[in-house]
Amino acid sequence: MQIVFDYLMYKSITKKISGNFIIENLLQFFFDVVLKLIRFLSKLFSKKGGSVCIISIHKLGDSIFTFDTINSIKTYYKNRDVFIICNYNSKDIYNLIHPKEFVLNLPKSCFHFNDRYLDSKARKILRSLNPEIIIDITGVMTSASLIFNSTAKEIFGINRKLFRSIYDKFIETNTNLVSKQIYLNAIKEIIPINPIITNKVRNNNSNSIKTILIAPFAGWKSREWGLGKYITLSERLSNDYEVELLFDQTFITREIIDYLSINGIKYYISKSVNELINKIKEYDLVIGNDSGPIHIAEFLGKYTFTIYGPTNPYYHKEEGENHEFIQKVLPCSPTSSERLCFTDGGKDGCPSFECMSLLSVDEVYEKLLKSISKWNSD
Protein backbone atom coordinates (compact mmCIF):
# COMPACT_ATOMS: atom_id res chain seq x y z
CA MET A 1 0.00 0.00 0.00
CA GLN A 2 2.82 2.39 0.79
CA ILE A 3 4.30 1.84 -2.67
CA VAL A 4 0.94 2.66 -4.24
CA PHE A 5 0.62 5.83 -2.21
CA ASP A 6 4.18 6.92 -2.98
CA TYR A 7 3.48 6.50 -6.68
CA LEU A 8 0.24 8.49 -6.48
CA MET A 9 1.99 11.27 -4.58
CA TYR A 10 4.70 11.37 -7.24
CA LYS A 11 2.15 11.54 -10.06
CA SER A 12 0.23 14.33 -8.35
CA ILE A 13 3.44 16.34 -8.29
CA THR A 14 4.56 15.71 -11.85
CA LYS A 15 1.24 15.92 -13.71
CA LYS A 16 -1.14 18.87 -13.81
CA ILE A 17 -4.74 17.82 -13.31
CA SER A 18 -6.43 21.01 -12.18
CA GLY A 19 -9.15 22.26 -14.49
CA ASN A 20 -10.05 18.83 -15.88
CA PHE A 21 -13.28 17.92 -14.07
CA ILE A 22 -13.32 14.26 -15.13
CA ILE A 23 -9.70 13.55 -14.22
CA GLU A 24 -10.02 15.41 -10.93
CA ASN A 25 -13.05 13.37 -9.91
CA LEU A 26 -11.52 10.08 -10.97
CA LEU A 27 -8.36 10.87 -9.05
CA GLN A 28 -10.41 11.94 -6.01
CA PHE A 29 -12.35 8.66 -6.10
CA PHE A 30 -9.16 6.62 -6.43
CA PHE A 31 -7.45 8.49 -3.57
CA ASP A 32 -10.52 8.08 -1.36
CA VAL A 33 -10.60 4.32 -1.89
CA VAL A 34 -6.86 3.80 -1.42
CA LEU A 35 -6.47 6.10 1.55
CA LYS A 36 -9.55 4.78 3.36
CA LEU A 37 -8.17 1.26 2.99
CA ILE A 38 -4.73 2.30 4.22
CA ARG A 39 -6.30 4.15 7.16
CA PHE A 40 -8.49 1.17 8.06
CA LEU A 41 -5.57 -1.28 8.01
CA SER A 42 -3.30 1.10 9.93
CA LYS A 43 -5.83 1.59 12.72
CA LEU A 44 -5.90 -2.18 13.30
CA PHE A 45 -2.41 -1.76 14.78
CA SER A 46 -3.15 1.36 16.78
CA LYS A 47 -2.05 1.43 20.39
CA LYS A 48 -3.12 3.75 23.14
CA GLY A 49 0.00 5.86 23.48
CA GLY A 50 -1.63 8.84 25.13
CA SER A 51 0.47 11.53 23.44
CA VAL A 52 -0.64 14.21 20.99
CA CYS A 53 1.45 15.07 17.95
CA ILE A 54 1.03 18.37 16.08
CA ILE A 55 2.23 18.31 12.47
CA SER A 56 3.35 21.85 11.66
CA ILE A 57 5.70 21.80 8.68
CA HIS A 58 6.05 25.47 7.79
CA LYS A 59 8.68 28.03 6.91
CA LEU A 60 9.68 30.62 9.51
CA GLY A 61 6.97 33.22 8.99
CA ASP A 62 4.09 30.76 8.80
CA SER A 63 5.46 28.95 11.85
CA ILE A 64 4.84 32.11 13.86
CA PHE A 65 1.26 32.24 12.57
CA THR A 66 0.58 28.78 14.07
CA PHE A 67 1.35 29.87 17.66
CA ASP A 68 -2.25 30.63 18.65
CA THR A 69 -3.37 27.26 17.34
CA ILE A 70 -0.61 25.37 19.13
CA ASN A 71 -1.28 27.24 22.36
CA SER A 72 -4.95 26.24 22.17
CA ILE A 73 -4.03 22.59 21.59
CA LYS A 74 -1.59 22.60 24.51
CA THR A 75 -4.20 24.10 26.82
CA TYR A 76 -6.85 21.57 25.78
CA TYR A 77 -4.49 18.60 26.20
CA LYS A 78 -2.66 19.98 29.25
CA ASN A 79 -2.53 16.55 30.92
CA ARG A 80 -0.86 14.87 27.95
CA ASP A 81 2.53 15.03 26.31
CA VAL A 82 2.22 17.27 23.26
CA PHE A 83 4.87 16.92 20.55
CA ILE A 84 5.46 19.17 17.55
CA ILE A 85 6.95 17.82 14.32
CA CYS A 86 8.23 20.73 12.25
CA ASN A 87 10.33 21.78 9.28
CA TYR A 88 14.08 21.18 9.29
CA ASN A 89 14.88 24.80 10.27
CA SER A 90 11.89 25.68 12.48
CA LYS A 91 12.77 23.98 15.77
CA ASP A 92 14.17 27.18 17.36
CA ILE A 93 10.98 29.02 16.40
CA TYR A 94 8.79 26.53 18.24
CA ASN A 95 11.15 26.51 21.21
CA LEU A 96 9.92 30.07 21.84
CA ILE A 97 6.60 28.59 23.03
CA HIS A 98 7.24 24.89 23.63
CA PRO A 99 9.87 22.81 25.54
CA LYS A 100 12.67 21.80 23.19
CA GLU A 101 12.49 18.12 24.18
CA PHE A 102 8.98 17.98 22.70
CA VAL A 103 9.89 19.58 19.36
CA LEU A 104 11.27 17.37 16.59
CA ASN A 105 12.47 18.84 13.32
CA LEU A 106 12.59 16.58 10.29
CA PRO A 107 16.01 16.43 8.57
CA LYS A 108 16.22 18.14 5.20
CA SER A 109 17.22 14.80 3.65
CA CYS A 110 13.68 13.52 4.33
CA PHE A 111 12.16 16.11 1.97
CA HIS A 112 11.86 15.48 -1.76
CA PHE A 113 10.32 17.06 -4.87
CA ASN A 114 10.88 20.65 -3.77
CA ASP A 115 9.87 19.85 -0.16
CA ARG A 116 6.47 18.49 -1.23
CA TYR A 117 7.00 14.90 -0.15
CA LEU A 118 8.36 13.20 2.99
CA ASP A 119 9.94 9.75 2.82
CA SER A 120 9.86 6.67 5.05
CA LYS A 121 12.60 8.05 7.32
CA ALA A 122 10.30 10.89 8.33
CA ARG A 123 7.43 8.46 8.91
CA LYS A 124 9.72 6.42 11.15
CA ILE A 125 10.30 9.53 13.32
CA LEU A 126 6.54 9.98 13.66
CA ARG A 127 6.04 6.30 14.55
CA SER A 128 8.67 6.57 17.30
CA LEU A 129 6.35 8.96 19.17
CA ASN A 130 3.46 6.46 19.05
CA PRO A 131 0.87 9.26 19.16
CA GLU A 132 -2.73 8.51 20.00
CA ILE A 133 -3.88 11.75 18.37
CA ILE A 134 -2.38 13.56 15.37
CA ILE A 135 -3.39 17.14 14.57
CA ASP A 136 -2.25 18.33 11.15
CA ILE A 137 -2.07 22.13 10.91
CA THR A 138 0.09 22.08 7.78
CA GLY A 139 -2.54 21.34 5.17
CA VAL A 140 -0.47 20.33 2.15
CA MET A 141 0.78 17.18 0.45
CA THR A 142 3.93 17.22 2.57
CA SER A 143 2.03 16.49 5.77
CA ALA A 144 -0.26 14.01 4.00
CA SER A 145 2.78 11.98 2.94
CA LEU A 146 3.92 11.89 6.58
CA ILE A 147 0.71 10.78 8.29
CA PHE A 148 -1.22 8.72 5.72
CA ASN A 149 -0.29 5.32 7.22
CA SER A 150 0.04 6.32 10.87
CA THR A 151 -1.41 3.98 13.46
CA ALA A 152 -2.73 6.91 15.53
CA LYS A 153 -6.20 6.32 16.92
CA GLU A 154 -7.42 9.67 15.62
CA ILE A 155 -6.15 12.07 12.96
CA PHE A 156 -7.70 15.44 12.32
CA GLY A 157 -6.76 18.74 10.77
CA ILE A 158 -6.65 20.63 7.49
CA ASN A 159 -5.51 19.62 4.04
CA ARG A 160 -6.46 19.66 0.41
CA LYS A 161 -9.62 17.82 -0.51
CA LEU A 162 -7.60 15.18 -2.35
CA PHE A 163 -6.26 13.83 0.96
CA ARG A 164 -9.47 13.98 3.01
CA SER A 165 -9.70 10.21 3.57
CA ILE A 166 -6.55 10.25 5.72
CA TYR A 167 -8.42 12.17 8.39
CA ASP A 168 -11.03 11.06 10.91
CA LYS A 169 -12.09 14.71 11.18
CA PHE A 170 -11.24 16.76 8.10
CA ILE A 171 -11.43 20.45 7.21
CA GLU A 172 -10.41 21.60 3.75
CA THR A 173 -7.57 24.13 3.76
CA ASN A 174 -8.85 27.65 3.20
CA THR A 175 -6.03 30.01 2.28
CA ASN A 176 -8.41 32.91 1.75
CA LEU A 177 -8.23 33.71 5.47
CA VAL A 178 -5.99 35.87 7.62
CA SER A 179 -2.79 33.88 8.17
CA LYS A 180 -3.41 32.96 11.82
CA GLN A 181 -6.99 31.96 11.06
CA ILE A 182 -5.91 29.38 8.48
CA TYR A 183 -4.42 27.26 11.25
CA LEU A 184 -7.07 28.00 13.87
CA ASN A 185 -9.52 26.70 11.29
CA ALA A 186 -7.94 23.25 11.69
CA ILE A 187 -9.15 22.94 15.30
CA LYS A 188 -12.10 25.32 15.65
CA GLU A 189 -14.76 22.59 15.63
CA ILE A 190 -12.92 20.38 18.12
CA ILE A 191 -10.82 22.48 20.50
CA PRO A 192 -11.69 25.79 22.21
CA ILE A 193 -9.57 28.61 20.84
CA ASN A 194 -7.21 30.06 23.43
CA PRO A 195 -4.97 32.63 21.69
CA ILE A 196 -1.48 33.09 23.09
CA ILE A 197 -0.81 36.43 24.75
CA THR A 198 2.28 37.84 23.04
CA ASN A 199 4.51 40.57 24.36
CA LYS A 200 3.37 43.84 22.79
CA VAL A 201 5.99 45.95 24.58
CA ARG A 202 9.55 46.56 23.46
CA ASN A 203 12.01 44.17 25.10
CA ASN A 204 14.48 46.88 26.08
CA ASN A 205 14.78 49.80 28.47
CA SER A 206 14.90 52.50 25.81
CA ASN A 207 12.31 55.27 25.76
CA SER A 208 12.78 55.81 22.02
CA ILE A 209 13.90 53.97 18.89
CA LYS A 210 17.67 54.14 18.66
CA THR A 211 18.65 50.87 17.01
CA ILE A 212 17.39 49.47 13.69
CA LEU A 213 17.87 46.04 12.13
CA ILE A 214 17.22 45.62 8.39
CA ALA A 215 16.45 42.18 6.92
CA PRO A 216 16.64 42.62 3.12
CA PHE A 217 15.76 39.11 1.90
CA ALA A 218 12.65 36.93 1.80
CA GLY A 219 11.61 33.38 0.97
CA TRP A 220 10.22 34.52 -2.40
CA LYS A 221 12.18 36.80 -4.73
CA SER A 222 8.95 38.57 -5.67
CA ARG A 223 8.60 39.77 -2.06
CA GLU A 224 12.02 41.45 -2.02
CA TRP A 225 12.35 45.21 -2.39
CA GLY A 226 15.99 44.93 -3.47
CA LEU A 227 19.31 44.79 -1.64
CA GLY A 228 20.61 47.99 -3.28
CA LYS A 229 17.63 49.97 -2.01
CA TYR A 230 18.00 48.55 1.48
CA ILE A 231 21.68 49.50 1.53
CA THR A 232 20.81 53.06 0.47
CA LEU A 233 18.12 53.19 3.15
CA SER A 234 20.56 51.96 5.80
CA GLU A 235 23.09 54.62 4.82
CA ARG A 236 20.48 57.38 5.25
CA LEU A 237 19.27 56.01 8.57
CA SER A 238 22.79 55.56 9.95
CA ASN A 239 23.13 59.34 10.30
CA ASP A 240 20.69 59.24 13.21
CA TYR A 241 20.42 55.61 14.30
CA GLU A 242 22.54 52.56 14.94
CA VAL A 243 21.74 50.42 11.88
CA GLU A 244 22.73 46.87 10.97
CA LEU A 245 21.89 44.70 7.96
CA LEU A 246 20.92 41.11 8.72
CA PHE A 247 21.78 38.28 6.33
CA ASP A 248 21.16 34.56 6.31
CA GLN A 249 24.34 32.75 5.26
CA THR A 250 22.50 31.28 2.26
CA PHE A 251 21.59 34.75 0.92
CA ILE A 252 24.96 36.51 0.91
CA THR A 253 27.90 36.35 -1.48
CA ARG A 254 31.56 37.32 -1.23
CA GLU A 255 30.92 40.30 -3.49
CA ILE A 256 28.22 41.66 -1.14
CA ILE A 257 30.47 41.18 1.90
CA ASP A 258 33.34 43.02 0.17
CA TYR A 259 31.07 45.92 -0.80
CA LEU A 260 29.67 46.30 2.71
CA SER A 261 33.11 46.09 4.29
CA ILE A 262 34.68 48.63 1.91
CA ASN A 263 31.84 51.10 2.54
CA GLY A 264 31.82 50.62 6.30
CA ILE A 265 28.26 49.28 6.41
CA LYS A 266 27.52 47.25 9.50
CA TYR A 267 26.16 43.76 8.86
CA TYR A 268 25.59 40.44 10.58
CA ILE A 269 25.41 36.94 9.07
CA SER A 270 23.21 34.53 11.01
CA LYS A 271 24.15 30.88 10.74
CA SER A 272 21.07 29.51 12.46
CA VAL A 273 17.50 30.45 13.34
CA ASN A 274 18.54 30.77 16.98
CA GLU A 275 21.17 33.36 16.01
CA LEU A 276 18.53 35.17 13.96
CA ILE A 277 16.17 35.31 16.96
CA ASN A 278 18.88 36.54 19.32
CA LYS A 279 19.97 39.25 16.89
CA ILE A 280 16.39 40.53 16.53
CA LYS A 281 16.13 40.73 20.33
CA GLU A 282 18.98 43.27 20.39
CA TYR A 283 17.15 45.92 18.32
CA ASP A 284 14.26 48.34 18.81
CA LEU A 285 12.93 48.32 15.24
CA VAL A 286 13.10 45.73 12.46
CA ILE A 287 12.62 46.68 8.79
CA GLY A 288 12.12 44.14 6.04
CA ASN A 289 9.95 42.41 3.50
CA ASP A 290 6.93 40.25 4.28
CA SER A 291 9.15 37.46 5.62
CA GLY A 292 10.21 35.37 8.61
CA PRO A 293 12.39 37.97 10.39
CA ILE A 294 9.53 40.50 10.41
CA HIS A 295 7.06 38.02 11.88
CA ILE A 296 9.58 36.89 14.50
CA ALA A 297 10.13 40.53 15.45
CA GLU A 298 6.37 41.06 15.72
CA PHE A 299 6.10 38.10 18.10
CA LEU A 300 9.00 39.38 20.20
CA GLY A 301 7.23 42.72 20.68
CA LYS A 302 9.55 44.76 18.48
CA TYR A 303 8.50 47.68 16.33
CA THR A 304 8.30 46.61 12.70
CA PHE A 305 8.14 48.38 9.35
CA THR A 306 7.31 46.07 6.46
CA ILE A 307 7.62 46.63 2.72
CA TYR A 308 4.82 44.78 0.95
CA GLY A 309 4.48 44.04 -2.76
CA PRO A 310 2.47 41.12 -4.20
CA THR A 311 0.97 40.05 -0.86
CA ASN A 312 -1.93 41.66 0.99
CA PRO A 313 -0.71 43.29 4.23
CA TYR A 314 -4.02 42.78 6.00
CA TYR A 315 -3.76 39.00 5.62
CA HIS A 316 -0.23 38.84 7.03
CA LYS A 317 0.63 41.75 9.33
CA GLU A 318 0.36 41.72 13.10
CA GLU A 319 -2.33 43.94 14.57
CA GLY A 320 -1.37 46.90 16.74
CA GLU A 321 0.08 50.39 16.52
CA ASN A 322 3.67 49.13 16.72
CA HIS A 323 3.56 47.69 13.20
CA GLU A 324 3.55 49.89 10.11
CA PHE A 325 3.93 49.09 6.43
CA ILE A 326 4.20 50.59 2.97
CA GLN A 327 2.96 49.21 -0.34
CA LYS A 328 2.94 50.53 -3.89
CA VAL A 329 -0.64 49.81 -4.89
CA LEU A 330 -1.07 49.06 -8.61
CA PRO A 331 -4.03 47.80 -10.69
CA CYS A 332 -2.56 44.28 -10.39
CA SER A 333 -2.11 44.43 -6.59
CA PRO A 334 -4.24 42.06 -4.50
CA THR A 335 -7.65 43.50 -3.70
CA SER A 336 -9.02 43.73 -0.17
CA SER A 337 -10.50 40.24 -0.52
CA GLU A 338 -7.40 38.63 -2.07
CA ARG A 339 -4.46 37.18 -0.19
CA LEU A 340 -2.05 37.39 -3.15
CA CYS A 341 -1.90 39.13 -6.51
CA PHE A 342 -3.09 37.34 -9.67
CA THR A 343 0.37 35.77 -10.20
CA ASP A 344 0.07 33.92 -6.88
CA GLY A 345 2.29 36.46 -5.19
CA GLY A 346 4.80 36.36 -8.02
CA LYS A 347 5.36 32.61 -7.89
CA ASP A 348 3.54 32.11 -11.21
CA GLY A 349 5.87 34.44 -13.08
CA CYS A 350 5.21 38.14 -12.74
CA PRO A 351 6.61 39.89 -15.86
CA SER A 352 7.97 42.99 -14.12
CA PHE A 353 7.58 43.08 -10.28
CA GLU A 354 6.61 46.73 -10.54
CA CYS A 355 4.99 46.79 -7.10
CA MET A 356 8.52 46.51 -5.71
CA SER A 357 10.62 48.14 -8.42
CA LEU A 358 8.51 51.34 -8.53
CA LEU A 359 8.64 51.87 -4.77
CA SER A 360 11.44 54.39 -4.24
CA VAL A 361 13.86 54.79 -1.35
CA ASP A 362 12.51 58.32 -0.82
CA GLU A 363 8.95 57.01 -0.35
CA VAL A 364 10.03 54.37 2.13
CA TYR A 365 12.35 56.73 4.00
CA GLU A 366 9.70 59.43 4.39
CA LYS A 367 6.98 57.10 5.67
CA LEU A 368 9.46 55.33 7.94
CA LEU A 369 10.51 58.61 9.58
CA LYS A 370 6.87 59.50 10.18
CA SER A 371 6.32 56.13 11.81
CA ILE A 372 9.38 56.48 14.03
CA SER A 373 8.32 59.98 15.03
CA LYS A 374 4.88 58.68 16.00
CA TRP A 375 6.31 55.79 18.01
CA ASN A 376 8.81 58.00 19.83
CA SER A 377 6.07 60.43 20.81
CA ASP A 378 3.82 57.74 22.33
Same domain? For 259 and 159 the reply is no
| CB-based contact 110:133 (threshold 8 Å) | no
pTM of the prediction?
0.88
Say yes or no: 218 and 328 in one domain.
yes
Banded model confidence at residue 8, pLDDT cuts 50, 70, 90: low
Q: Which residues are CB-neighbours of 7 under 8 A, at least 6 positions away?
A: none
- d(Cα 8, Cα 11) in Å, to the nearest integer? 5
Q: What is the pLDDT of residues 54-70, one digit of tens each?
A: 999 999 889 999 999 99
Q: Is residue 190 part of a domain?
A: no
d(CA 218, CA 144): 26
CB-based contacts of 232: which residues, under 8 Å, 6+ apart?
Answer: 361
Domain final residue pick, 149, 168, 184? 184
- Measure the CA angle with vertex 105, ends 73 and 189; round to 5°: 20
The C-alpha atoms of residue 126 and residue 377 are separated, in whole angstroms, by 51
In this structure, are 271 and 149 located in the same domain?
Answer: no
**CATH number of the domain to which 243 belongs:** 3.40.50.2000
For residue 252, the model assigns a pLDDT of 83
Q: Rounded to an integer, what distance in angstroms lies between the CA atom of residue 122 and that of residue 267?
A: 36
218 shares a domain with 171: no
Mean pLDDT of 138-159: 95
Q: Do both 268 and 355 map to the same domain?
A: yes
State the amino acid at position 260 in one-letter form.
L
162 and 302: one domain?
Answer: no
Q: Characterize the bridge pairing of strands 303-308 and 285-289.
A: parallel
Separation of alpha carbons 254 and 316, rounded Å? 33
pLDDT by residue (tens digit) across 14-35? Answer: 445 555 677 778 888 988 999 9
Check residue 71 and give its pLDDT: 93
Q: Which domain holds residue 358?
A: 211-377
Residue 189 included in any domain: no
Pairing of strands 267-270, 211-215: unpaired
- What CA–CA distance (Å, rounded) separates 302 from 211? 11
Domain stops at, among 184, 203, 231: 184
Residue 14: the pLDDT is 42
Domain count, the chain: 2
Q: Has residue 130 been placed in a domain?
A: yes
